[in-house]
Amino acid sequence: MEQISMLDEKFIVVDIETTGLDPFDGCEIIEIGATEILNGEIVRNHNRLIKPEKEIPEFITGLTNISNEMVENEPTINEVLPKFRKYIGDTTLIAHNAKFDIKFLNYYLRKLGLKEITNYMCTLEMLKRVSSYKGKNKKLATACEYYGIENKNAHRASSDTFATAQLFLKIRDRVDL
């Protein structure tokens, strides 16, 4: 892994909330959050709720506080994802447990005939290479607690991306090469 240069660099931290664990089982994206990092500073944080084709399971509403009523007038993934793909362009994405988020995003990007995401970094994987963090679990909540990062609305995309952006900025120079 190369040293991460923050001079004149832009990253977009992404997080999604879904109706389940696997898009291949019919699970859908119900929220996308993004936090921009420019030259080592967090400059923008936003999110978009998405109306799924099926009802949001009660378990997911309990976890995310995203209800069917909240998304009933929101745009669908077919409306949101092309705009999101254009917005991120070729910028390096950052996510905590990126395999999960990228799997979902790429599944729906393929369905829409859009370019898949291949340029990304994972803060969960980065934590595995921080010697002072070895032996601790790699959940975002644990890492936030360890590094003194507040995540007021865990399991909501904009809050999780903001926390992940802060985590990335704290650990980027601590990753053992």
Q: Which residue, among 149, 144, 148, has the nearest Cα to 124 in the 3D structure?
A: 144
Q: Is residue 96 annotated as a catalytic residue, yes or no?
A: no
Tell how strand 29-38 and strand 10-18 pair up.
antiparallel
- Would you state the structure tokens that stand for residue 33, as one six-digit string? 């959050």
- Three-state DSSP class for 93? strand
**Amino acid in position 96:** H
Cα(172)–Cα(104) distance, integer angstroms: 25
CA end-to-end distance (rounded Å), the chain: 6
Annotated catalytic residue within 155, 160, 162, 172: 155
- Three-state DSSP class for 121? strand
Q: What residues form DSSP beta bridges with 18? A: 29
Nearest-Å Rg of the Cα atoms of the chain is 16
CB 17 within 8 A of CB 31: yes
Active site (catalytic) residues: 155
